[in-house]
Structure 1
Amino acid sequence: MTEDDGRDAAPADSDAGHDSADEDRPEANGVVPTPADDAPNTLDDVRERDAEAEDGDDTDTADGDDTDTADGDDTDTADADTTATDADEPEADDISLDSFYDALEAEGRPVVTAQQVARRLETTQAAAVDALGALADAGSVQRVNVETDPVVWYPTEWGNLATRERIVLFPERREIVVDSPTQYTRARLSQFAHLADTTGERESGTRGYLYKIRQEDVWQSPFDELGELLAMLRSVLPTRSPHLEEWVESQWKRANQFRLYTHEEGYVVLEGASESLMGNVARQKLDDEQLVAPISDTESWVRDGAEAAIKRVLYEAGYPVKDDRELDAGDPLDVDLRVELRDYQRDWVEKFRDQKSGVLVGPSGAGKTVTGIGALASVGGETLILVPSRELAAQWRAELLRHTTLSEAQIGEYHGGQKEVRPVTIATYQTAGMDRHRSLFDSRAWGLIVYDEVHHIPSRIYRRSADLQAKHRLGLSATPVREDDKEQEIFTLIGPPIGTDWSKLFEAGYVQEPEVEIRYVPWGDDTAQNEWANADGYERHQLAGTNPGKDEEVRRLLREHPTAKALVFVDWLDQGERLAEVLDVPFVSGEMPHYRRERLFEEFRDGDLRTLVISRVGDEGIDLPNAELAVVASGLGGSRRQGAQRAGRTMRPAGSALVYVLATRGTSEEDFAQRQMRHLAEKGVRVRENDLL
């Protein structure tokens, strides 16, 4: 949890841009392999081809009113066919759906213009337009205006195919494009691929998802064997790709080329799988601050305390390090649980014990804190718990006393307010990383270190605390994503991910899958829109975020869900104060005294208060388990973590889980809102979009 900085304003923070796949995408015909380059595959492909053909056809005019005669002369359609009588020409009523299909077949195209139908059915263009209009009114065909080109028509049932899931693999670029993916497909893809972008127009209802398979996705995939990863890959993709599978296998092997182990004399050794790797990679990338001296052609003596730096350097070089050190298990700690772990929580604990390190990536509401306590009891050694704030330290203390046999005397807190080192010590990252306190934590033999809200680890303030190493290291976070693209450091320093398949928890009912909708809101008044139009940079982003038109939409959503316990999130204090006045509810921000904040949160938890407007202080580290409705009125630009954290306030085992993200139409907020929800989409959550008129 981070306190508000000044007026809660923060610069727009967004994902790095990604190029979408530029190859042709396949015809909507279920799951198909990559199409031939010269084949039209989608409605857009055909439109483009038709437009090019018509632009180059000397016998057609720009507006499509002229048609070809038998001898190729340009003549108007009204009197083009001098050999046919009026009686020979089909009337509008005579053009049936079957004859329309005949015209499509004759043209060899899935979409046609009225001019092409008229030519194939030997009638006038006016009659074809009337007939196609009648078929459209009956729902048998549909029409699309292609900008300045002629209107094109296609059968309705063919349009329905566009909403089916289609998967296209581009093996050379290791990219996968999925149109209309099911939750099941998105959940499986999240096991080995990264959701890089969403493509297409939201109005069509067929937004595509662009996935990329990166090195770190293979290294961090939650599989014990290469065969399991390849089996998952083959179960998702439309066709086998030896090229891609060879690359995946090569990356899997890279993850085991270096390892750290403890020498029999007590010091740590870095070992490479070959003399070439040790000489050309490790000893080239590392210096005297990390390596003391060579021991053999494949081994080097590691300088004490340099292990974390070695992991970082070699990871960035493309070689994640296996950590086999015989770290101290810490003094024993006799502790029992007072809570029954769920089946999946026991599985998480067992996998963690096998690995001795890992990052638990479970959805909000899955009980990651309880699982961490279960790991503590399973390890049975003295434990250091690192948290980002005092509030979270107090919550951990309460949970430990509630769910274990630990006594008050066995639990200590070490931060600005208290400094107690006990068998179980809860400290803030900031304090643990300070030089004057560091020696105290280093000197203690911890059996387990828990890194709560572990996504903070790569940041400059928290990074030093990650150098604290123990035999068992457990990170906790529902959102191990960062907009600076440093999330790989989380898994490098702490361990591989555990619990990444959220769909199983949704299906089993352990966690309520949120219903997420992005709503594009118009401007509340011309003055606000004009002010935005004349601004630039950060001010422009803030004006879009605080659009007064959102006030009425928030009120409308609360009226639609009158019994739901609701949280309304804002990023600017002025907006929060305005909404609090409009809704006649409290506004909780970093400027509010801590004791008053806690009292309001308690009233919300108890049900005495049903709605709160809240700033970034509610993003993480605060226990608000009973929210049923989250309305994001404004947020950090494109921050996936913030989007998932706010949605996570509703993801509990029972009740409704509704999330509405408001974005001002026609501004950068549209893209930001889509990016904010990307982490949830990657985990299989369906994100709808609604353009309010």
Structure 2
Amino acid sequence: MTDEGSEPVGTGVEADADATAGDSDAADDPDGADSDAADDPDGAADTVVPIDDLELDRFYDAVEAEGRPVVTASEVARRLGTTQASAAAALDDLVDDGTVDRVSVETDPVVYFPTEWRELAARERIVVFPDRRELVVDQPRQYTRAQLSQFAHLVDSTGDRERSVADGETTSRGYKYEIRPEDVWQAPFDDVEELLSVMRSVLPRRSPSLEEWVRSQWGRANRFRLVTHDDGYVVLEAASESLMGNVARQNLDEDELVAPISETESWVREGAEAAIKRTLYEAGYPVVDDRDLDAGDPVDVDLTTHLRDYQEDWIDRFEEQRSGVLVGPSGSGKTVTAIGILAAIGGETLTLVPSRELAGQWRAELLEHTTLDAGQIGEYHGGEKEIKPVTIATYRTAGMDRHRALFDSRGWGLVIYDEVHHIPAEIYRRSADLQTKHRLGLSATPVREDDREAEIFTLIGPPIGTDWSRLFEAGYVQEPEVRIRYLPWDDEIARNEWANAEGRDRHRVAAENPAKIEETRRLLDAHPDASALVFVDWLDQGEKLADALEAPFVSGEMPHHRRDRVFDSFREGDLDTIVVSRVGDEGIDLPNAGVAIVASGLGGSRRQGAQRAGRTMRPAGGSRVYVLATRGTSEEEFAQRQMRHLAEKGIRVIESNVDDGASGE
């Protein structure tokens, strides 16, 4: 028997370290039986006994002893102490009786499993592998996915797809989660007991080894602290002499630490806080930032907008932490909450945005929701350069050497990082060195395809607003219904073009499958009263779709004034459909819609998928997202990956095949 660290919790069986023996082992035995059977301490009989009839209970015993949901005849023979031929014959008799089922798979000739497990497959099941810190979930409920998202990372949401005879739909069954150290470090709980309580409410039974590991990781997140000395300089504190000597001083040099103060304290060089956080985080010890942050030069500002209860909670959480990242869904009011935090801090504020257009939108929002007047708000970017008590600048401009001194010299009390997922990029991360200020990040999708999203929380602060299910249940934000639809090729000409293409061209041909035009028409006809946004990544495809739908195509080539008129017409109901290129993913004030159709996507970007789906997350009304993918191409994987962030937040993603002539719904 293995220790608990190797046991898959939730199966109710013991896992055997030798359970991987397969049919190839039996081939070496001249009698056809597994030669290890007599030596197996976990339930194999001491002698080889042929069996004519196999009782179902004995089959269950063999399955449980193997610790796997399916078994081969060789494994049953080993567990029951019989020959492989005898076990196979007896198993086939159970198949004939209907109590056992079998299927041929790639890695074994035939595997067997209890027939009733087909029915169990329709229920929620969670299997935990504590030693790997992995969770495998079949048919998870929304509650389960929402809770798991608070302490686990969704690795894969594709799983097996099961066809429904009634409606032809397929749904993603399998979800694989991993609990990483950073998931524990960033978990939105006040203490480890609260985190463990949520884990216990979801997992099928307690796992002492997994809980002990979570406790140890939680402790690692609180072993180093940055504090402000009475004389005004910053000190790095370690929980022990060993940590300071063997971790901090071994990984940090004189560029970060000026000199030791005691066995557990070191004097931090001014401006080195961000570098220290990065280095110790990579060493496995996230730093708690307890410094006295600058309040900034005061600004006379009041909020004029009534906030929702959860927005008030977000502000309270931020004031307590003095830094953090708002990660609420689109439509939850993150910008207004940020403005509420600005008013609560009451100090001069620098807001960093990725584009000039977003700078203009922030100015409008500040004037609408606060008592600030136009003379108190400045913009600093390529088109305008004006520093005011509340300044909105682009990341690129703020990171330039010739402008940096100007930003550093101002008495900011708060720095707001809009679309904070840009921070890990080299051109943007310099702005994160403004570590002496209150820091607030905003992003519905703080995920990056380079897996550097952990750095966002390291440099800016812990996440706030991660429990999306509460907002869905309260009706503040409409949970979208997400459907991935796999389409056949429109004709053999298109398929042949794809087959002969290579690399990026192959992906482009699949994305531009002409069948998507007709499918988009069908989907729009199925929702005649809904406003719709159709997203594309390729300009040629966007122009063809716009012509076919008789709708405007908004791309980077459209002048700003014309784009604004199109969006105004859409908001006012004069237009019901717009085709939008990648320019609509962020940086422009794209209107919300009742239906979003993703005709092509950016190589499976999770952030892009969530941003596009977010355009349908309105407080009321239906909310549909359709992702179109050409069957049998890389688009299948891209579509599944694009929706992974939403699936992680508890949103159901339904997959279906579209046959020739099938209806859009």
Counterpart residue type for residue 451 of structure 2: D
| Correspondence for 2:137 | 178
Q: Partner of 1:484: helix, strand, or coil?
A: coil
Shift of 1:159: 2.3
1:449–1:469 contact (8 Å) kept in structure 2: no
| Correspondence for 1:71 | none
Counterpart residue type for residue 249 of structure 1: R
Q: Distance in 2 between matches of 1:24 and 1:552?
A: 51
CA change 1:49–1:605 in 2 (3 A) is: farther
Q: Distance in 1 between matches of 2:142 and 2:290?
A: 37
Please, which of 511, 514, 518 is the counterpart of residue 480 of structure 2? 514
2:439–2:461 contact (8 Å) kept in structure 1: yes
CA change 1:187–1:50 in 2 (3 A) is: farther
Shift of 1:264: 2.3
2:8–2:15 contact (8 Å) kept in structure 1: no
Please, which of 389, 393, 401 is the counterpart of residue 435 of structure 1? 401
Q: Partner of 1:553: helix, strand, or coil?
A: helix
CA change 1:52–1:555 in 2 (3 A) is: farther
RMSD: 3.5
Query: Pairwise mapping of residues 439-450 of structure 1 onto structure 2 (< 5 A)?
Result: 439-450=405-416
Please, which of 183, 188, 194 is the counterpart of residue 217 of structure 1? 183
| Correspondence for 2:149 | 190
Q: Partner of 1:563: helix, strand, or coil?
A: coil
Q: Distance in 2 between matches of 1:153 and 1:425?
A: 65
Shift of 1:150: 8.6
Q: Distance in 2 between matches of 1:342 and 1:295?
A: 47
Q: Distance in 2 between matches of 1:25 and 1:246?
A: 16
CA change 1:520–1:492 in 2 (3 A) is: same
Q: Distance in 2 between matches of 1:24 and 1:411?
A: 60
CA change 1:37–1:692 in 2 (3 A) is: farther
| Correspondence for 1:254 | 220
Query: Pairwise mapping of residues 250-649 of structure 1 onto structure 2 (< 5 A)?
Result: 250-649=216-615
Q: Distance in 1 between matches of 2:389 and 2:606?
A: 36
Shift of 1:487: 0.5
User: What CA deviation, in whole Å up to 9, does each residue of 1:463-492 have, x standing for no partner?
Assistant: 111112344211111000001111011101
Please, which of 104, 111, 119 is the counterpart of residue 160 of structure 1? 119
User: What CA deviation, in whole Å up to 9, does each residue of 1:166-205 have, x standing for no partner?
Assistant: 1111111111111111110011111111111135321364
Shift of 1:160: 2.4
Q: Partner of 1:510: helix, strand, or coil?
A: coil
2:102–2:110 contact (8 Å) kept in structure 1: no
Q: Distance in 1 between matches of 2:507 and 2:8?
A: 34
Q: Distance in 1 between matches of 2:513 and 2:411?
A: 54
Shift of 1:246: 1.3
CA change 1:106–1:309 in 2 (3 A) is: closer
Shift of 1:242: 1.4
Q: Distance in 1 between matches of 2:498 and 2:641?
A: 22
CA change 1:52–1:381 in 2 (3 A) is: same
Q: Distance in 2 between matches of 1:244 and 1:122?
A: 40
CA change 1:223–1:53 in 2 (3 A) is: same
Shift of 1:327: 2.4
Counterpart residue type for residue 254 of structure 2: D
Shift of 1:121: 14
CA change 1:218–1:595 in 2 (3 A) is: same
Q: Distance in 2 between matches of 1:37 and 1:180?
A: 26
1:550–1:633 contact (8 Å) kept in structure 2: yes
1:329–1:470 contact (8 Å) kept in structure 2: no
Counterpart residue type for residue 403 of structure 1: H
User: What CA deviation, in whole Å up to 9, does each residue of 1:567-588 have, x standing for no partner?
Assistant: 1111111111111111111111
Q: Partner of 1:301: helix, strand, or coil?
A: strand
| TM-score normalised by length of structure 2 | 0.84
CA change 1:461–1:37 in 2 (3 A) is: same
CA change 1:105–1:266 in 2 (3 A) is: closer
| Correspondence for 1:202 | 161
CA change 1:25–1:538 in 2 (3 A) is: farther
1:503–1:683 contact (8 Å) kept in structure 2: yes
Shift of 1:35: 5.0
Shift of 1:250: 1.1
Shift of 1:107: 7.0
Shift of 1:141: 11
1:184–1:684 contact (8 Å) kept in structure 2: yes
Counterpart residue type for residue 186 of structure 1: R
2:555–2:583 contact (8 Å) kept in structure 1: yes
Shift of 1:214: 0.7
Q: Partner of 2:473: helix, strand, or coil?
A: helix
User: What CA deviation, in whole Å up to 9, does each residue of 1:44-103 have, x standing for no partner?
Assistant: x9xx999999999999xxxxxxxxxxxxxxxxxxxxxxxxxxxxxxxxxxxxxxxxxx99
Structure 1 residues not aligned, in runs of 5+: 1-22, 60-101, 133-139
Q: Distance in 2 between matches of 1:153 and 1:289?
A: 62
Structure 2 residues not aligned, in runs of 5+: 1-5, 33-53, 64-68, 73-85, 164-170, 660-665
Q: Partner of 2:157: helix, strand, or coil?
A: strand
| Correspondence for 1:90 | none
Q: Partner of 1:330: helix, strand, or coil?
A: coil
Q: Distance in 1 between matches of 2:293 and 2:414?
A: 10
Shift of 1:685: 0.4
CA change 1:276–1:153 in 2 (3 A) is: closer
Shift of 1:621: 2.7
Q: Distance in 2 between matches of 1:546 and 1:142?
A: 42
Q: Distance in 1 between matches of 2:56 and 2:567?
A: 64
Counterpart residue type for residue 328 of structure 1: D
Q: Distance in 1 between matches of 2:125 and 2:591?
A: 37
Q: Distance in 2 between matches of 1:311 and 1:143?
A: 54
2:355–2:587 contact (8 Å) kept in structure 1: yes
1:175–1:212 contact (8 Å) kept in structure 2: yes
1:386–1:450 contact (8 Å) kept in structure 2: yes
User: What CA deviation, in whole Å up to 9, does each residue of 1:554-606 have, x standing for no partner?
Assistant: 11111111111111111111111111111111111112222222221221122
Q: Partner of 2:628: helix, strand, or coil?
A: strand
Q: Distance in 2 between matches of 1:402 and 1:549?
A: 45
Shift of 1:153: 10
Q: Partner of 2:513: helix, strand, or coil?
A: coil
RCO (CA 8 Å, sep 6+): is it higher in 1 or 2? 1
Q: Distance in 1 between matches of 2:407 and 2:495?
A: 54
1:567–1:614 contact (8 Å) kept in structure 2: yes
1:33–1:238 contact (8 Å) kept in structure 2: no
Q: Partner of 1:666: helix, strand, or coil?
A: coil
Deviates more, 1:191-200 or 1:650-659: 191-200
Shift of 1:392: 0.9
Q: Distance in 2 between matches of 1:405 and 1:525?
A: 60
Q: Partner of 1:203: helix, strand, or coil?
A: strand
Q: Distance in 2 between matches of 1:105 and 1:301?
A: 68
Identical aligned pairs, as a percentage?
71
Q: Distance in 1 between matches of 2:638 and 2:70?
A: 35
Counterpart residue type for residue 170 of structure 1: F
Q: Distance in 2 between matches of 1:310 and 1:378?
A: 29
